[in-house]
Amino acid sequence: MFFDYHTHSHYSFDGEEAAADMVAAASARGIEEICFTDHVDFDFPGRRHLPDFASRRRELEALGRRYPLMAIRHGAEVSLGDEACAEAAWAALRDVELDFVIGSVHVVDGVDVWADRYYEGQNKAEAYRRYLEAVARMLPAFPHFHVLGHYDFVAKYAPYPDRSVTLEDALDAFEEIFRFLIGNGKAMEINTASWQEDAPWGMDVLRRYRELGGEYVTVGSDTHGTERVGARIGEAMELARAAGIRYVAAFQNGEPRMHKL
């Protein structure tokens, strides 16, 4: 079993390559199931990133006929934010048929977390805690997602020599996040992009998630082109298994299908 449940094609505003090329790359790498989670962003005043879901559906269905051994799923990654952001996202998605929705935080206090400016004047502990507290705060506003995307997004572009995220960085916020997810039938994602070229992290985070009742995760590369399709998914599965997580999930029509780790 080899799934990539977080990928961006050219239907994302920042996607680099055609869905057809990405599916070809996935097929060559033995991926059994790929989910396209193109960006739906209303998380910043004036920002309105929305994929052409109708065109994407037609293209992905045609690709499905060309690659009958691979399951190709229709997903979205929705940026979480305030009530207005959640309302705009839901208005855009309400009538779109999707298999899977990721909810992710990309903007904190009006600043993009990938921008250098986010980290200015903050040490690692402050920057990480602020991000995770924002995640805990924003989750309830948009109840239409299935998994929390990249809880460690704050590490992806962080300027610190050791970028790793640990449970102790924000224990209270992590527990609040896990209680919300577990209590509302949602789950965590392991996103391999945050690691960049570093060793995997997150064992302590996943163990606590498990202790509080977390049963399953999804795994995704967060690739924006062909190069990283399926990248480090095996390591993510191994990490989840070692942390005691029982299942990795795939999704169809919003329903998780569990695969034992």
Q: Which residues of this chain interact with Zn ion, rule CB under 5 A?
A: 77, 104, 222
> Which is closer to Zn ion, CB of 36 or CB of 174?
36
Is 209 in contact with 188 (CB distance < 8 Å)? Answer: yes
Question: What is the DSSP code string of 129-189?
Answer: HHHHHHHHHHGGG-TT-SEE--TTHHHHT--SS-----GGGSHHHHHHHHHHHHHTT-EEE
Minimum distance from residue 87 beta carbon to Zn ion (Å): 20
Nearest C-alpha neighbor of 147 from the set 96, 94, 105, 204: 105
Is 154 in contact with 132 (CB distance < 8 Å)? Answer: yes
Minimum distance from residue 61 beta carbon to Zn ion (Å): 22
> Which is closer to Zn ion, CB of 107 or CB of 210?
107
> Which is closer to Zn ion, CB of 192 or CB of 210?
192
Minimum distance from residue 39 beta carbon to Zn ion (Å): 7
> Which is closer to Zn ion, CB of 77 or CB of 99?
77
Find the residue with minimal CB distance to Zn ion: 104
Q: How far apart are CA 169 and CA 195, in angstroms?
A: 16
Is 138 in contact with 80 (CB distance < 8 Å)? Answer: yes
Minimum distance from residue 79 beta carbon to Zn ion (Å): 8
> Which is closer to Zn ion, CB of 59 or CB of 222?
222
Minimum distance from residue 35 beta carbon to Zn ion (Å): 11
